[in-house]
Amino acid sequence: MSVIEYTTPSFDLSEEVLLLRDAVREIGEREILPTAAKRDHDHAFPAEIMKKLAEAELMGMLIPEAYGGTAIGNLALSVVLEEINYFDASVGVTLSVHNSLCASPISRFGSHDQKSRYLPRLAKGELLGAYALTEPDAGSDSANLRLKAEKRSDRWVLNGTKIWITSGDRAGLMVVFARTDSAAPKAKGISAFIVETGWKGFKVGKVEEKCGLRSSSTVEIHCEDLEVPDENLLGELNGGFKVAMDTLDGGRIGIASQSLGIHRACLDASIKYAKERQQFGQPIAEFQAIQWKIADMATDLDAARMLTHRAAVMRDRAVPCSREAAMAKSFASRACNRAADEAVQIHGGAGYTKDFPVERFFRDARITEIYEGVTDIQRLVIARSLLK
Ligand code: CAA
């Protein structure tokens, strides 16, 4: 018998999700697309757009209704993220991190008190969420993290640095992973904390200037004697690595969905350009070399979407999906980068300029293979699950 079962849950989109998709598409066309290129140029954070997304109830998609969310789930979130990223991947990552890396772990691991205090505000968009795992010496090897949390009576005192934190200077709330037992083996001495960024000792450091996703913010965070009350320990003491990894299973479905959105934008732009652009007396769409590129881009997109929706449905059904999320992310992100590369190629010199959006898609696509676990880490997760 094969070690890998044939897992194909049905993932037809419900009427509710289709209506949501259409509504989000309308928001994207009206509110996001017209200013996307300018925001990218100006490195301008999409604060106003995030408010609109909150009004559209997109900030609490993984939050239970009892705590103010819609609890519509990971499949719906994937569909929404594909739409948003189609228009602007900077807005897309901000929304994805908020839902899947901050609201989700609090919903899944938080106490009733933590959920009551924070989830309604996250759902309303009063607080933007972030997730702080990575450190200078803990990138792919996240269990090597050093940011220290020391217990002093009824509170924890955090000291150390986090890097590459999406929305770190905009967020009101952050799930921060810290070492609470230095004697324990790497992953066994880590705990998760819910940190309000307004607390004393929370400092924003270097603001990264990035190749793509230029209107999302990515910053360094310093915790300098940052005091966190004991009641903000998220999950079990020294059980934080599992919180981090479980959260990333969901986050990776989000980044796979982001890849779908950028990919589809590349495909649509390429089809449009290929029909308009004339060379050798005919639209370049008439040439087989262009047709094959378009055909491969479309086939890859469908395959990537099926993998992504499968992982999302499994997560919604509480079926373990680390492998499937890793498959979705590694396949969708690489397919997206191939599509972005081909989209620029189809546009020729025009695609290398700011006159056409594929230049932005090309820059934005690159990160999908890097954050929330580089492609080789996804392959490691897949391979370990097969070889154990
Ligand atoms: N769910 C629950 N628990 C999990 C898990 C999961 N998906 N994966 C692993 N664990 C548990 C294991 O079962 C193990 O527990 P036990 O010892 O009790 O069995 C424990 O966690 C340690 O697991 P590993 O031995 O597999 O740990 P490792 O040190 O070998 O690391 C890794 C595994 C897959 C390489 C992991 O470190 C990893 O995913 N690295 C990449 C980090 C990453 O994705 N960073 C992204 C940063 S966030 C970001 O980019 C956000 C942003 O702002 C956009």
167: left (phi over 0), alpha (psi -120 to 50) or beta: left
Q: What residue's CA is closest to ligand 1, atom 28?
A: 143
In a 3-state reduction of DSSP, which class is residue 388? coil
Q: Which residues are CB-neighbours of 9 under 8 A, at least 6 positions away?
A: 310, 313, 314, 317, 319
Asked if the model's pLDDT at residue 5 lies above 70, the reply is no
Asked if the model's pLDDT at residue 4 lies above 80, the reply is no
Asked if the model's pLDDT at residue 11 lies above 90, the reply is no
CATH number for 130-240 (one of 3.40.50.150, 2.70.40.10, 3.30.70.340, 2.40.110.10): it is 2.40.110.10
Closest ligand 1 atom, CA of 142? 37
Instruction: Tell me, yes or no, if the two domains 130-240 and 242-387 fold the same way.
Output: no
Cα(40) to centroid(ligand 1), Å: 32
Question: What pLDDT, on the 0 to 100 scale, is given for residue 388?
Answer: 86
**Which CATH superfamily does the domain covering 242-387 fall into?**
Butyryl-CoA Dehydrogenase, subunit A, domain 3 (1.20.140.10)
Domain ranges of the chain: 15-128, 130-240, 242-387
Q: What fold does the segment set 15-128 form as a domain?
A: Butyryl-Coa Dehydrogenase, subunit A; domain 1 (1.10.540)
Asked if the model's pLDDT at residue 7 lies above 80, the reply is no
Cα(285) to centroid(ligand 1), Å: 45
Give the pLDDT band of residue 147 (cuts 50, 70, 90). very high
Give the tens place of pLDDT for each residue, 184-239.
999 999 999 999 999 999 999 999 999 999 999 999 999 999 999 999 999 999 99
Q: Do the Cβ atoms of 195 and 226 come closer than 8 Å?
A: yes
Predicted structure pTM score: 0.97
Q: Return the best residue to mutate from 100, 104, 242 for the ligand 1 pocket (most ligand atoms within 8 A of CB).
A: 242
Q: Which residues are catalytic?
A: 372
Question: What pLDDT, on the 0 to 100 scale, is given for residue 12?
Answer: 83
Asked if the model's pLDDT at residue 271 lies above 80, the reply is yes
Give the tens place of pLDDT for each residue, 302-336.
999 999 999 999 999 999 999 999 999 999 999 99
